[in-house]
A and B are shown apart, each in its own frame.
Chain A
């Protein structure tokens, strides 16, 4: 399962995959030798094979890889939308069987908000149906998180009047307001323009500083992975296998060029194998 990882000069940034050693106590989420397959009308496709990783509380864990490495499928499995063919996924020691509000998803698509509800109602709705909060309490908490994502003035607007970035902010507020065990983000900024994307990345980090939530973030952008994460799981494509894990990513800095160096290292690692071009 564990691929041989190229040894780097800088062992701090790229290391061998190790079981979550640096955390005290049991990890929040464990994914153990998970193989995922899905059917198309005439093919059975293996999306990931024997993938293992674990996520600790307050991790900003990024699944990174070229298209076809099964990272989105992996996230869906963690979300409970598909069952692994073999292997197991546990959250807080409980096996994941179906979707649930303890793992709130933020999708890439802008249509993830319910168009018939205002921003406020969109954030309140899961609080009321899944958390069974009374209306008043739900509204209070929803407003708090809408403030956090700086959408106070748009609280009574309908989603179709918002820009793409604002919609993604609402989706993030909706996920965070539920205070889930893990926030699952499936390329949430991929459909945004480059300027908005950078801004959203900064805001996400700021929100994380505030509440220290746990998040799994799927992306295919190496720069984005380095910017938002503290740990990165690199996956190789066809089928998705773990190639390496990068830890302490948050120690990479923009100003001294270490982030750029890390980006180059990861790029070389991902595209080192011949025949595996994107």
Chain B
């Protein structure tokens, strides 16, 4: 009678499992590695575009319509050194941070109410449905009547632009927290605010961060646009006013310098600040969607 048998492979080496790793893994070439970094590729693209800008503007030779890159950079440098741009940036950022923080806090209160009570949910859903499609800038004329020409009008418009985006995403994030995690939180005896803060907020963090990013983008664009409309009244204008003012003075390189500053600050916050937060939270936790 035959019975099952195990026949070992001839070259099996049971006690040296990792002896053949070198044949499986092979290093990529260094050029291939560098080209694999997206930052490198993007830098190359930007340098390419900068060269085209410089060449085309020199060829056009019309600083009133299209100043060269070098003119723009020189103006940017000058305005930085003489303190105009830093003080404009500071004015803008002050208003921005006030509005952003106020909007986020309001959003937090609304969503916590919404997750704990049914009427709160209904309120939040109705309000976001109504106000989310309304561009914040369209409230500016009204805000000017209510709060006068000044920072408070801008803050009001900013709160409107941040609040609904953050509240909508946070609420959606809370609702998307898996039933298992909710039950785990209940199992630990967590209720009310401690349940929200210790379970729901970290579990919904990817959505909350998305909301904060969208809120930031809305706020930044809204503020620059609002400052273009007015800003001189608040004693000293912000970046948007800087752009508008220099257009009136036909100082086009300064207009370009202002626009460049808006782009750079936007990039820094969107890519540096938020990406750093992302790296230290949702990427580390393996929660990136």
CB distance from B191 to the nearest CB of A (A): 9
CB distance from B6 to the nearest CB of A (A): 17
- Given the known interface contacts A158-B286, A159-B286, A160-B286, the answer about A105 and B184 at a Cβ–Cβ threshold of 8 Å is yes
Q: Is the Cβ of B281 less than 8 Å from the Cβ of A105?
A: no
Instruction: Name the interface residues of A76-130: CB closer than 8 Å to any CB of B.
Output: 79-81, 98-101, 103-105, 107, 109, 111-112, 114-116, 125-126, 129-130
Across the interface, name the chain A residue whose C-beta is closest to B288. Answer: A160
Within the complex, which residue of B178, B181, B203, B285 is in contact with A160, where a contact is CB–CB below 8 Å? B285
Report whether over half of chain B's contact residues are helix, strand or loop; otherwise say mixed: helix
Question: Which of chain A's residues have a CB closer than 8 A to the CB of B178?
Answer: 109, 111
Question: Which of chain B's residues have a CB closer than 8 A to the CB of A100?
Answer: 187, 189
Is A9's beta carbon under 8 Å from chain B? no
What's the Cα separation between A109 and B186 when bound, in Å? 16
Q: By the criterion of a CB under 8 Å from any partner CB, how many residues of chain B are at the interface?
A: 21
Q: Is the Cβ of B189 less than 8 Å from the Cβ of A114?
A: no
Across the interface, name the chain A residue whose C-beta is closest to B179. Answer: A109
Q: Is the Cβ of B198 less than 8 Å from the Cβ of A129?
A: yes
CB distance from A114 to the nearest CB of B (A): 7
What's the Cα separation between A98 and B202 when bound, in Å? 24
CB distance from B73 to the nearest CB of A (A): 43
Instruction: Name the interface residues of B139-187: CB closer than 8 Å to any CB of A.
Output: 178, 180-181, 183-184, 186-187
Q: Is the Cβ of A129 less than 8 Å from the Cβ of B190?
A: yes
Q: Is the Cβ of A112 less than 8 Å from the Cβ of B181?
A: yes
CB distance from A4 to the nearest CB of B (A): 36
On A, residues with C-beta under 8 Å from B are 79-81, 98-101, 103-105, 107, 109, 111-112, 114-116, 125-126, 129-130, 158-161
28 residue pairs A–B, Cβ–Cβ below 8 Å: A79-B187, A81-B183, A81-B186, A99-B183, A99-B186, A101-B189, A105-B183, A105-B184, A107-B180, A109-B180, A111-B178, A111-B181, A112-B181, A114-B181, A114-B184, A115-B287, A116-B202, A116-B203, A116-B285, A126-B187, A126-B188, A129-B189, A129-B198, A158-B286, A159-B286, A160-B285, A160-B286, A160-B287
